[in-house]
Structure 1
Amino acid sequence: MTHFPARSLLFALCCGLTLTACNDDRIHNICGNHPTLCQDLVDDGWCRYERTDVIRARYHLQEEGTDRRKYDVMRSLERYLKCAERSTNIEYKTAREQKSPRVEGMLAAGDQLARLDAATRNSQDPYLLLWHWTNNTNELARQQFMALEGQSVLEEPELQLALGGIHAKSEPQKAIALMHHALSLYREGDAVNSRILTSLSTLYMGQKQYGLAYLWGKVSESFQNTPEVSAKRFGLYHSLSKADQEAWDSQAATLVEQLKSGTYRP
């Protein structure tokens, strides 16, 4: 009987290793068949996951060529550059005098990002409208994004989150409704963006609805590796009775299960 836990652990480890190997094999195949998608990004162990995301996004862009795929490449390049900057302690924009494979990879990634940024400035894709508004302070892009409010093209959690962020200061109740709607769009197996949950907690805090702020702070803790906003950080434990906390905790557990199963409805 004592062999089963060890066997289960071994099985879990093998599954994890197999999954990693499969991911590596897929990237290896992409790079083998399409070397230009990979050769400018140094594979030295640093930023491995970010590098993989860039390669995969480039491959999908090559296969489909849509504006959404361009956005995916831009986001993956942005994450790769942030990781590379941390690993080298320099910014890619000031790295042209440095000569190393990692710096060369940074420069190549930065150049592609700049090209895609310029090439998509007139795109009507909502994700790219958001990109150009937030990264380039493009007011026209913001107006065009806002004009899509209420249309099916914005019926995605990330876009509802962005829309709620726009309304947060001037119309907090509307922002709250948008955040709840964003959560209702998740289906079973989807990765829930914890920023929606922390935004809800912050919005309720601003409305002095401390019980609801505590509730959504508590829910957010189940979807963050390192909680950025939580009921504890708000100090809300001190403003609620033990009985109230227990009631909110029970409701939070229910909400977590609903979000994970894709059945949450406001």
Structure 2
Amino acid sequence: MFTSFFAISAFFGLLGCEQPTNTQVICNKNPELCADLHKDSWCRFEKGDLIRNRFKLKNTLEPSGKLIYDQLLYLENYNKCVELASGVQHILHPERTNDRARAFGLSSQTLSELQETTKGSNDPHLAYYHWSRFNDPEAEAVLFAAESNGAITDVMLKAELASHYLRLNPTKSKQLYAEVFEGSTEENFKADWLLALATIYRLENKFEIDYWLSMTNIEITHANFTEVQMLALIKGNKILQRRLDKDALELAEQLQSGEYQKSKLKTLLDKDIREAHSPL
């Protein structure tokens, strides 16, 4: 048991396999999951994520570290949002402001309890949480021991570690990102991984690759960009720009279709990793 919330969940028992996504349905059938939350429409998405994850926890006999880690993140997001909302004074209905303030206090307490009870966990997700949030040296040791032993399989957690190694050990970062791209799906792929990789190649003064990966991110996210700044990476070479833009479009389509295996990015990363580990 990790918090008083889990004790409540155990007390009410399991409901079965059905997993409703409508939060109002969940709250109506499981009022104990929503009683400490505010009632109006502020922080709708944060509250919805938290409620749905609470429902998953209630229906899980032995919650995984990943599920509890998600609960910590959802609690953090909700707590931050409702803190801001509690500072907004409702003139016509002051009781709504009071309700948000109550929810902020309760969510702060619940978050603190969950942080305390997960401290010292040997689960990699929870170790990552305590290391990244509190710089906990014991959690750091657990996390990197798990990484060294190949015990970390979750794509998102690997991506966090790849980001950590970005400047400390670029080759290690590339290797982890290669595993991340290898294990990602159309559903969980994150375009930001491309920007992290682009940063590595920029630090290596490989500006063509930096341009290619950055433009692939832009193709996927449709982010605004300044063409002059992008062109500066390749010294204004318009012919090279057309080729790299074409390659970026191709890579974007492959990654969004789950076809990393066929991509030039896989070829590049495999080559870089192989060369980095080859004896001089």
Normalising to structure 2: TM-score of the pair? 0.75
Q: Structure 1 CA distance, aligned partners of 2:251 and 2:71?
A: 33
Does the 8 Å CA contact 1:201/1:214 hold for their aligned counterparts?
yes
Does the CA-based 8 Å contact 1:47-1:80 persist in structure 2?
yes
Name the amino acid aligned to 1:124: N
1:143 matched to which residue of 2? 141
- Counterpart in the other structure of 2:251: 255
Aligned residue pairs total 233
User: Tell me, which stretches of 5 or more residues in structure 2 are unaligned?
Assistant: 1-18, 89-96, 267-280
Report the counterpart of residue 197 of structure 2 in structure 1: 200
Distance between the aligned counterparts of 2:219 and 2:43, measured in 1?
A: 26
| Structure 1 CA distance for aligned equivalents of residues 161 and 71 of structure 2 | 23
1:153 aligned to which of 151, 154, 177:
151
Q: State how far apart, in whole Å, the 2-side matches of 1:150 and 1:137 are.
A: 19
1:242 aligns with 2:238: yes
Cα distance in 2 between the residues matched to 1:234 and 1:171 = 31
Q: How far apart, in 2, do the equivalents of 1:53 and 1:234 lie? A: 40
Which residue of structure 2 aligns with residue 183 of structure 1? 181
Once the two structures are TM-superposed, the CA of residue 234 in structure 1 deviates from its matched residue by 9.5
Letter matched to residue 231 of structure 2 = Y
- The aligned counterpart of 1:209 is 206
What is the rounded CA distance, in whole Å, between the counterparts of 2:214 and 2:124 in structure 1?
29
Residue of structure 1 in register with 2:124 after alignment: 126
- C-alpha distance in structure 2 between counterparts of 1:223 and 1:124, whole Å: 37
Which of 57, 64, 72 lines up with 1:61 in the alignment? 57
Q: Deviations over 1:128-175 (max 9, x none)?
A: 111000111101211211112255532232122122223222211221
TM-score normalised to structure 1 length: 0.79
Mapping for residues 49-88 of structure 1, pairs under 5 Å: 49-64=45-60, 65-66=62-63, 67-88=65-86
Deviations 1:69-97 (A, max 9, x none): 2211111011112222343459xxxxxxx
Q: Distance in 2 between matches of 1:223 and 1:108?
A: 39
Gaps of 5+ in 1: 1-22, 91-98
Identity of aligned residues (%): 25
> Tell me, what secondary structure is at the counterpart of 2:59?
helix
- The residue type paired with residue 197 of structure 1 is L
Query: Match of 1:220?
Result: 217
Give the match's secondary structure for 1:124.
coil
Q: Distance in 1 between matches of 2:70 and 2:191?
A: 20
Aligned to 2:3: none
Does structure 1 conserve the Cα–Cα contact (< 8 Å) formed by 2:39 and 2:99? no
The one-letter amino acid of 2:232's match is H
Query: RMSD of the alignment, in Å?
Result: 2.5
Runs of 4+ with deviation above 3 angstroms: 85-90, 150-153, 222-227
Aligned-partner residue type, residue 260 of structure 2: Y
Q: Hey, what's the Cα distance between the residues in 1 that align with 2:41 and 2:220?
A: 28
Distance 2:40 2:170 in 1: 47
